[in-house]
Chains A and B, each alone.
Chain A
């Protein structure tokens, strides 16, 4: 669970984000605004096509918004992109690794891109692989790993440079219960150590278990935002899933 006694510095503030893709009738983001405080695990929930990945891409400075601003620990993601990139980590939805390299070779490469060198890099790689339980298999090619192992290396790369803010785009999709449980436990431990997180998932029980604050979004807008317990209580719902359905409906999003 998120740390509650931290100083409430604003880690991320997205204001009035609008994103229009060429050829799309409606905007992917339409006035999207959130505030995330330092130490939070912020769950971004929504059905397919709600705009979660677009929001993460803009907030992590991968994509330029058509309108609106994003500030991360006081730095503008467009004007101070380099400063922002030093502070953030990204765990993409796909296994963003070189499959024909070993886990250690992947971490060494990405570590060097973060400017970590020499022994510091070697010991940090060992720490991260140990953290996700893959140190004994560090020198195996990633392509030989199971889905869960790949997800864990994906996470290890994201935390290699000890980011202040970590973006996780559905980090547990398509893996077994054991691997998911381990990843959630590790994320909670990271949060305890001070890492703020933005977390997208389709698993409501994950969000309930992990997130200190959630935003439910649809059609590019935030429909509701707050602490999961308070939101459920205010809406008279027993579970986050009930609240999710009541806000976004049960209609299929194909």
Chain B
């Protein structure tokens, strides 16, 4: 039996190897898609503020504030001059509006001095209630955004800038307090000291308070084993598009069965002393091997080629055995679906059309193109019926959340159940045909 199974496996691999157009669809298509989509999504992540952005700083003030902003917002690339030329406000607006920079910060002239004047007024007012606060001494800073940048990035930029301004303001007020408090104390003490007033001398205060926060927040991705892999386009797209390509195996798989039926090779096979289940098993293993080769190719692309294009390298993580089991389960689901399609469809054209539409639809609702959490509620509910979605969820559990096999048993069970169900439907139809001849 194994000899016959192995012969079928070798025959089908040889036929696939000689079908160059089919190989292009199976290997080149997902490879091209994973590179293009990852590059495109990387830019989207940039617009969302997930990666470093370039910001113009127009410093008309030329005071301490500009230096503080550059120093404190070190995660952002601050550009103050282009080709040695200082950037004007008009230039900044043009460059940001044109998408060359994600944002621009404009510090009007007199901001630092105005802020110090207002802070001093506030400190004096707090010490002597009869001193009014002089509001509006400092002009407003302006922040400009590229119209295409998304809300997350805008909020992050605004909050970062507000933090820097707040920090500078607090430090300025502490410095002012250090200077004004001794003056105030001395004045007040002299008032009530009478003849001894001339002997009262308050030493200067030196309030050296750090502006670094005492209570800190550390952000990290939640993962079961402490491995924090940041969910990046690479970590999402490599398994997603590998699955997409693997499920496209349904078309050559179904095509192979339809061709055998149309050209009567199936009749020849059925007239031979070998169970058709053995032939089918050989075929399934051959196509599953192709699926594994597809996954390996996309993995290698993610690991070695994407970094050459300025993206990070795909991380398989320590649970590669779990990933292998998911690859095998997804491959089995794809090939069994191909068998069902090849049994139901009467022509290659039917299988090709229905196969590609169903795989693209299952990919879309399964979160290959847009993560499931970013979909509308109705689509999120629909995503639970997608075998590609089950496979992707299992992969993301392993690659991003650091899950082991036990963490993906639900998805594995669903994939195996889907394989069994589609194979059963194919068997029912095949048996009915063998009996009725229709």
Contact = CB atoms under 8 A, between A and B. Distances in A.
Given A57-B437, A100-B18, A112 B265 contact: no
B15 interface: yes
Given A57-B267, A62-B270, A113 B437 contact: no
Contact of B272 (A19, A63, A85, A167): A85
A19 B434 CA distance: 13
Interface string B1-35: 00110011011001100110000000000000000
Given A21-B436, A113-B272, A92 B267 contact: yes
B438 A23 contact: yes
Contacts, number: 86
B192 interface: no
Contacts of A112: 3-4, 7
Chain B's interface size range is 20 to 34
Interface in B254-274: 262-265, 267-274
A114 interface: yes
A98 B267 contact: no
A26 interface: no
Contact of B271 (A90, A98, A115): A90
Contacts of A61: 270-271
Q: Kindly name the residue among B8, B268, B269, B279 whose own CB sees the greatest number of chain A CB atoms within 10 A.
A: B268
B258 to A, nearest CB: 13
B55 to A, nearest CB: 59
Interface in B99-144: none
Given A21-B437, A57-B437, A63-B437, A113 B267 contact: no
A97 interface: yes
A21 B262 CA distance: 19
Contact of A62 (B19, B271, B279, B436): B271
A81 B274 CA distance: 10
A220 to B, nearest CB: 13
A88 interface: yes
B7 A96 contact: no
A96 B268 contact: yes
B435 interface: yes
Nearest to A108: B7
A37 B4 CA distance: 33
Contacts of A99: 263
Interface-centre pick from B3, B4, B10, B11 (highest chain A CB count, 10 A):
B11
B396 to A, nearest CB: 38
A95 interface: yes
Interchain residue pairs A-B with the least CB separation, the first 9: A112-B7, A94-B264, A92-B264, A85-B273, A90-B271, A96-B264, A96-B268, A100-B18, A96-B265
13 contacts: A22-B438, A61-B271, A62-B267, A62-B434, A63-B434, A90-B271, A96-B268, A100-B15, A100-B18, A109-B7, A113-B8, A115-B4, A141-B18
Given A21-B438, A90-B268, 13 more contacts: A61-B270, A62-B271, A64-B435, A90-B271, A93-B264, A94-B264, A96-B264, A98-B15, A101-B18, A108-B7, A113-B8, A115-B3, A141-B18
